[in-house]
Structure 1
Amino acid sequence: MKRVTKTLFLLSTVLLSGCLGTRYLKDGEDLLYKQEIKGTEGLNKEDLYALYRQKPNNRFPFPYYWFYQVGLRKYDTAKIRQKKQRIEYYFLNKIRKARDNERRVKNLNSKKLAKLAVQDRVLEEGNLFMRWGEPLAVYDSLKTEETVSQLNQYLHSKGYFQAVSSYDVKKSGRKISLTYQLTPGTPHRLDSIYYSTQDSAIYKLIQANVKEAILQKGQNYDQRKFSRERDRIDALLKNNGYFGFNKQYIYFNVDTTSGDYGIDTNIVIETPPGEDKHKVFKVDTIKFRTDANIVVPNAKRSTNMYQGIVYEYYKRKFSRRVLNRRVFIKQGDYYSRDNTFKTQRQLANLDMFRFVNINYDTTGGKMIANIVTSPLKKFQTSNEVGINVASQGLPGPFYNVSFKNRNIFGGLETLEFNGRVSIEGVPSGTDVNEVLKSQELSGNFTLTFPQFIFPYGNKLTSRAGLFNPKTRIAVGDIYTNRPDYRRNNLNGSISYSWSNQKNAQFIFTLDEISLINTGNISNAFQDRLDQLEMQGSNLFRSFEPSFVSSMSLLNIYNFNSYGSQNSRAAFLKLFLESGGTTLNFINTDFLEARNLEFYKFLKFNIDYRQLLPISGANTLAYRVNVGIAKSYSDNKVLPYEKYFFAGGSNGIRAWSPRRLGPGAFTPINETTGLFDDRFEQYGEILLESSLELRRNLFGFLDGALFIDAGNIWTIDEEEGRENGKFRIDKFFKEIAVGSGAGLRFDFSFLILRFDAAIKIHDPARPEGSRFIFNKDFNSDVFRNQNLVNYNIGIGYPF
């Protein structure tokens, strides 16, 4: 009891110290405790909050200034400079002794610079505790005045020319509370917009595209839109031959004297000094050098014209026909900046060149487009050692090796071999408390063509070059060895991939074939399959020798680089698969003669995720994942890998991997009469969602609070898994809910994640006893079930 009291006392001290920051203040100082802005109706609050010139200290989940103060006590710049001198002297002596060993001297200099850089960082940013924390927010009245000035400037930029901002200071003890009051007034709007230029060709071009203008009559004045309109006009002209045009030729005359808060806007496009128009360029010649940075003594590059492009090379290695499809600069066309960028991007996507540069020569009044590339190595090998990102079990090590042969047939094809050996912890199929070692060995050969291998016309083939088209033919084998069973999957596929210029990627798999053989099934796992068979389940067929064929379409939309930054971003994945489609049109006797199970099914999955920065270091992330799979073959079963599973470190984290559901099914051990979640649970319908608040705590340590909800269901009622069927009038009562907290250690090269989650609503329990707060939640039947589940993972859960 004394130990608990001490712990609570220490915890209270840390939490309450958020109110005791004033004890670190010097005489005459006050603490900026909180601030707010009023009068923000119709304005972007995030923009306004960014204008604060001083911010209060963060107090959630603990006061960060406390760390800073701890570090400040031990921060002595004189001692740090002395340490730098000692480092200098130490390495100076080492270097003198090793002066005859050039390599040793180089290594010593590198070590010296690294150690000095550490001390320089301490001088500039403080010691580790100071970097973890933040300085005390000592109130500065000058910064308050600066904030008011910034708020006024912002309001003026949004058309509130009569806006007035003020502030009110309230003091309680040594704590300051600030309230900024905005009085925007009536915004000015755009009454008329017209364009002026001496260049009649530019005037016609602008008028032809005026519907795309950013500035429109009736809008409120907004400086950002004026800047965007300048960018639009600049891009319009540079995509229509005006190679030498510059944004500085565009300016705005704004007249606010028309009354009634109206603004007359004249957009002026000037001509060069002494000229009455801007010069328009057409591409006269296109030169493509495929082997820049290569020098062959006493040899000259060959020059060869192919479909309007002059190729230069020592030795012709690449198909000019394929390269032409990735060049969107055309002889005789007006210069286009967009087509230049498209060409550079699509040539880089070929994975054939170290760099792709495009420049234009307008000497003599003619425009020559120079495309300069340098080839990558024909043969490339790589090795990788890492840790699996386990979605259903524990992370484990892996080793990858790959070999790549570029331009293998001369048509910019790539042949690649990938081999992988991995070990990871996976949940046992028969015991939830047991984690099994799963070993996987795989090898895969992939031949990639930089075009669609499909019978269609050359014109369409050239247009497809805009979308980075690829055809992949793959053959591989995956061998999985785990105590429950051994499984071998020999597979082959042909697929087409393409992407748009912004954020969408598409993969259409015309056919994917797998020959699956499962052996060495453990007695416990076989007993489980037999038990399910007696209950009417056909799951055992998924572990018999099988032939699986399917075609699928995968669409991925990535908005604003989801996953690579903490800005507002989103990710959408759509997956549609049809299994056994071709088997509907052929005789399947040859499969039956070989005792091969085959499957016919449909599967659909949609996965949406979004990141929403809300304030400071806080980010809100959420995910919705929905799927359905349906077998229509005679065996009424799916391949085991095609079922949906719930629970685990990337799903409903309060449940063990693959142990949630289906529906309100309650697995009971017939011998003990207790809840029994030894066995994996599979389903054909998935509904899963997560909401997570993420925050940087300090340095490399991030924290998260989360809530997960979802379940899986079967389409048909199963005798051995009662109440597992999806029913439209009951499914919402069968949503499992879990909540918890986690820590993420961000080491830049990987993110190590620890999550602890507790069950809030468990549909396996009887209605009326499903909430954790219910007195019957831990009844005798469920007394052996863990309420808290711990998860270890690599990377974010979504």
Structure 2
Amino acid sequence: MSLRIALYFAFFLFIGIVTSGCLGTKYLKDDEKLLYKQKIKGSKNIDKEELDQLYAQEPNRQFPIIPFSPYVWFYYWGLDNYDVAKYEAKREASRAKWNTKIAQAREKDKTKKVARLEKKKRKKIAKINKTIQEGNVLMRWGEPIAVFDSSLAEQTMGRLKLYLNAKGYFQAKVDTTVDVSDKRLSITYLLDQGEPYRIDTLFTQTGDSAISKILNRNKDNSFLVEGENYEQNNLTKERERIDLLLKDNGYFDFSRQYVEFNVDTALVGDKKVAIQTVINKPSKRGYHKVFTVSAVNFTTDADVGFIPDSLRIEKVYRGITYRYHTYQYNEKILSRRIFIKKDSVYSKSNTFSTQRQLANLDHFRFINIHYDSSGGKLIANIFTSPLNRYQWTNEVGINVTQGFPGPFYNLSFKKRNVFKGLEIFEINGRIGIEGVAPATEVNDVYTSVEAGVNASLTFPQFVLPLSTRAKEKLGRVNPKTRLLAGYTYTDRPEYVRKNTNFSNTYSWQNENRGLFSFTATDVSIINSNLDSAFLGTLLALERNGNRLINTFKPSFVSSMSLSATWNFNSYGLNFTNSSFFRTYIESGGTSLNFVGTEALEKENLEYYKYIKLNLDYRKIHPANKNTTIAYRINAGIAKPYSDNRILPYEKYFFAGGSNGIRAWRPRRLGPGSYTPLDSTGGETRVSYNFEQQGEILLEGSLELRKNLIGFIDYAAFVDFGNIWTIREDPSREGAQFEFDRFYKEIAVGAGLGLRFDFSFLVLRLDAGLKIYDPARPEEKRFILSKGFYDPPFTPSAAESVVFNIGIGYPF
């Protein structure tokens, strides 16, 4: 192994030496220097990411560790083949070609063909124009060499000083040091922040006693706090807060422009700041007026423009005048989503809440709320346009869960407003094919077919015996009740599984991006037909004390569950600083504790009692404009307490695969330090053929994501984790979770991956390398340990490198 380490070291040393000059310095002129590196020193208590955004010039992007900038090569390679005149001639030739085709189509009076050709022409010309303006593909993928510009360095120094001033460091100084090596230049910006100025005195001038009272009542929410550092950004936040606060208290025509701050550093002493908040009066009226909503009008079919308003039917319910051509919606249900009340003071927040909750109903194409303040009154007009009552959708795509990609087809039908109470009835059918390794093999790939149909009825309220007042309050949290019945058919090489399911779920969400779901009843009846080889494997396990076979018997599974999800800054859609946290708790067979199990035993149905908890946290953190760090921690425990002491197969935890620990095949890692062996053929070898289930899960991932070229990104990742059993499993030695050794059984894998972002989907290719394998003897678990590849862990059997294909990001 020492020879192998030496070879690895020599290889990377060779690469470093060969590429040390591959930064594109040959493109520099004699008097030019390459901006190689830049950094900031001396910053204290300041966000480094914000400082990094202030550079006026950026160095060329490089590969991590290795001093190599291929993007410069791409740019100048493309530049060598870039001829503006050639592209302009190509554009004119293309325009003439398409004009001829369009003229011929017009002569034949083919209107649709003309429109189609015009569209193609615009697309082709736009593509050529982009090349003329931005360069060819290689130039757009690459970047010109970063020639150091002293004027841009001065600009960066100015930006840094202004930024420090805005943070309260009014006596800050910025200097630089420059290090030149051959044609490379590194610059360091030195910050001398000095002592920050602190807020010493706050006072307010409004000239309006009513506004003063509102501000005093809410002063605890102010962004300006005595004793804290002065920060200019807090003035902006305070202006926004006051604007919303007053608009929520009836000041309909108030504007943030009326809020002014006077900052004085000389009034209160050394390094102290006095801030006066001034609420200016409007010049015309001379005072700020509180508006009361005098009427609320709701036009439910505003898109029917050919009908005069005078012909619309009007109906008043709870102070709201509903106007429509044809009666469609139950006013009682609608009124619970409208928080603008007649004779109440105007509130901007209530207006936004009304618009949001009406949109959550999934019944309206658009929702516009307009206020008419002419004549001294404030009239709220709500205009909506209904979505189609009947809707068919088709979806064809590629699906990957824990295997190889396969096609799927979805067909769904939706009917809105079924009983005039804004209910939604849906039927969804799905069939998907995926390449998977069977539960008892790993080297072969078989086709797995999954098909299902679900029917659901969703009510825009909690179907519970609640008071009218309670239902009114719940309207702000988008309450829904969903009744579902479904059937799923799964055909895998080792079994065919049929699942009939019924559930009743209540869901709601708050304004802090919290989504909550409570499933009061979830009942499944499961039947499985086992392949003879798979059945033989399960029977062999049973003889060794493993009762996994019970989960494939005809089963009755009942449970109730609660999940809470917080999505901050649109995680999954927004690749800036965002995070996601989900907690899930499930109680299986709870009702059986009260009603008994005699009926199920009479029908020979297996039943389960268990408690399951799962916590999942994910975060995306931008290191700079080209680099993102993402990480995830996922942990769970499922404890069965029925007589059979097992879980339904779908309720177990599994580890490994394209969305988990990628150096192991799907569901093949663990449990604990268990070493799966295969002694067939007279040779004992490690075998990852059989899926391994556990009752405790701990896994995590850290991933560095960077753009490579164009739509191609690359990633470097480290995954870690394992599964364990709660009780000792005689058939799997080392599977049980023990506090004094579990940390030694955390598997570690690392690897590299490519992501092809086609906008409509992201194709992901990952290669994971086993770094630390707890299935090996303790002294041989690290990949660099002597004996890592000793029998039975031969390279071919142990699969040191595992390749994964995925759709979308792993987390």
TM, length-normalised to structure 1:
0.97
| Partner residue of 2:183 out of 174, 190, 211 | 174
Q: Distance in 2 between matches of 1:170 and 1:546?
A: 73
Q: Distance in 2 between matches of 1:325 and 1:749?
A: 37
Deviation at 1:670, TM superposition (A): 3.3
- 1:468 aligns with 478
- 2:47 aligns with 44
Q: Distance in 2 between matches of 1:274 and 1:297?
A: 39
Q: Distance in 1 between matches of 2:137 and 2:317?
A: 62
AA of the residue aligned to 1:558 = N
Native 8 Å contact 1:694 1:703 kept in 2: yes
Q: In 2 relative to 1, CA 716–8 (structure 1 residues): closer, same or farther, beyond 3 Å?
A: closer
1:796 aligns with 2:799: no
Give the match's secondary structure for 2:442: coil
Q: Distance in 1 between matches of 2:168 and 2:754?
A: 45
AA of the residue aligned to 2:447 = K
Correspondences of 1:622-771 after superposition (within 5 Å): 622-671=631-680, 672-771=683-782
Give the match's secondary structure for 2:755: strand
Give the match's secondary structure for 1:78: helix
Q: Distance in 2 between matches of 1:387 and 1:360?
A: 47
Deviation at 1:688, TM superposition (A): 0.6
- 1:529 aligns with 538
Q: Render the CA deviation track for 1:471-501: whole Å, top value 9, x for unaligned.
A: 0000010011122111110111000000001
Correspondences of 1:339-350 after superposition (within 5 Å): 339-350=350-361
AA of the residue aligned to 1:771 = F
Q: Render the CA deviation track for 1:726-748: whole Å, top value 9, x for unaligned.
A: 11101111111111111111111
Give the match's secondary structure for 2:677: coil
Deviation at 1:27, TM superposition (A): 3.8
- 2:78 aligns with 71
| Partner residue of 1:418 out of 428, 453, 474 | 428
Q: Distance in 2 between matches of 1:780 and 1:156?
A: 66
Segment of structure 1 superposing worse, 254-263 or 619-628: 254-263
Q: Render the CA deviation track for 1:384-430: whole Å, top value 9, x for unaligned.
A: 0001132x211210000000000010000000000001001122111
Q: Distance in 2 between matches of 1:588 and 1:168?
A: 79
- 1:112 aligns with 121
Identical aligned residues as a percent: 52
- 1:450 aligns with 460
Q: Distance in 1 between matches of 2:720 and 2:662?
A: 9
- 1:91 aligns with 98
Native 8 Å contact 2:400 2:434 kept in 1: no
Q: In 2 relative to 1, CA 132–11 (structure 1 residues): closer, same or farther, beyond 3 Å?
A: farther
- 1:548 aligns with 557
Deviation at 1:295, TM superposition (A): 4.4
How many residue pairs get aligned? The number is: 792
Native 8 Å contact 1:382 1:403 kept in 2: yes
1:558 aligns with 2:567: yes
Q: Distance in 1 between matches of 2:23 and 2:371?
A: 65
Deviation at 1:470, TM superposition (A): 0.2
Q: In 2 relative to 1, CA 717–497 (structure 1 residues): closer, same or farther, beyond 3 Å?
A: same
Native 8 Å contact 1:199 1:276 kept in 2: no
1:396 aligns with 2:406: yes
1:186 aligns with 2:195: yes
- 2:346 aligns with 335
- 1:16 aligns with 19
Native 8 Å contact 2:567 2:581 kept in 1: yes
- 1:292 aligns with 302
Correspondences of 1:568-583 after superposition (within 5 Å): 568-583=577-592
Deviation at 1:40, TM superposition (A): 1.1
1:616 aligns with 2:625: yes
Q: Distance in 2 between matches of 1:96 and 1:19?
A: 53
- 1:81 aligns with 88
Q: Distance in 2 between matches of 1:11 and 1:128?
A: 31
Q: In 2 relative to 1, CA 324–401 (structure 1 residues): closer, same or farther, beyond 3 Å?
A: same
Q: Render the CA deviation track for 1:313-345: whole Å, top value 9, x for unaligned.
A: 111110000000000111111100000000000
Give the match's secondary structure for 1:53: coil
Deviation at 1:764, TM superposition (A): 0.8
Q: Distance in 1 between matches of 2:142 and 2:807?
A: 26
Deviation at 1:135, TM superposition (A): 1.3
Segment of structure 1 superposing worse, 442-451 or 632-641: 632-641
Deviation at 1:31, TM superposition (A): 1.3
Q: Distance in 2 between matches of 1:577 and 1:274?
A: 62
1:103 aligns with 2:112: yes
- 2:3 aligns with none
Native 8 Å contact 2:618 2:630 kept in 1: yes
Deviation at 1:17, TM superposition (A): 5.6
Give the match's secondary structure for 2:686: coil
- Over the residues paired in the alignment, what is the CA RMSD in angstroms? 1.8
Q: Distance in 2 between matches of 1:767 and 1:12?
A: 34
Q: Render the CA deviation track for 1:43-90: whole Å, top value 9, x for unaligned.
A: 222222111111111111441211111111111111111111111111
Deviation at 1:355, TM superposition (A): 0.4
Native 8 Å contact 1:132 1:698 kept in 2: yes
Deviation at 1:546, TM superposition (A): 0.7
TM, length-normalised to structure 2:
0.95
- Runs of 5+ consecutive residues of structure 2 not aligned to the other structure: 1-6
Deviation at 1:198, TM superposition (A): 1.2
Q: In 2 relative to 1, CA 463–9 (structure 1 residues): closer, same or farther, beyond 3 Å?
A: closer
Q: Distance in 2 between matches of 1:555 and 1:464?
A: 17
Correspondences of 1:346-361 after superposition (within 5 Å): 346-361=357-372
Native 8 Å contact 1:198 1:276 kept in 2: no
Native 8 Å contact 1:425 1:437 kept in 2: yes
AA of the residue aligned to 2:523 = I
Q: Distance in 2 between matches of 1:19 and 1:384?
A: 47
Q: Render the CA deviation track for 1:81-121: whole Å, top value 9, x for unaligned.
A: 11111111111111222213222211111111100111111
Q: Distance in 1 between matches of 2:12 and 2:798?
A: 32
AA of the residue aligned to 1:207 = N
Deviation at 1:446, TM superposition (A): 0.5
Correspondences of 1:36-435 after superposition (within 5 Å): 36-61=39-64, 62-63=68-69, 64-99=71-106, 100-258=109-267, 259-273=269-283, 275-295=285-305, 300-390=311-401, 392-435=402-445
Native 8 Å contact 1:18 1:59 kept in 2: no
Q: Distance in 2 between matches of 1:580 and 1:374?
A: 45
Deviation at 1:274, TM superposition (A): 5.0
Segment of structure 1 superposing worse, 7-16 or 756-765: 7-16
Segment of structure 1 superposing worse, 31-40 or 113-122: 31-40
Deviation at 1:10, TM superposition (A): 14
Q: Render the CA deviation track for 1:138-179: whole Å, top value 9, x for unaligned.
A: 111111111111112112212222222222333322222212
Q: In 2 relative to 1, CA 14–127 (structure 1 residues): closer, same or farther, beyond 3 Å?
A: farther
Q: In 2 relative to 1, CA 13–212 (structure 1 residues): closer, same or farther, beyond 3 Å?
A: closer
Q: In 2 relative to 1, CA 760–272 (structure 1 residues): closer, same or farther, beyond 3 Å?
A: same
Q: Distance in 2 between matches of 1:14 and 1:446?
A: 64
Q: In 2 relative to 1, CA 653–348 (structure 1 residues): closer, same or farther, beyond 3 Å?
A: same
Q: Distance in 2 between matches of 1:297 and 1:454?
A: 39
Segment of structure 1 superposing worse, 236-245 or 292-301: 292-301
Q: Render the CA deviation track for 1:715-760: whole Å, top value 9, x for unaligned.
A: 1111111111111101111111111111111111111011101111
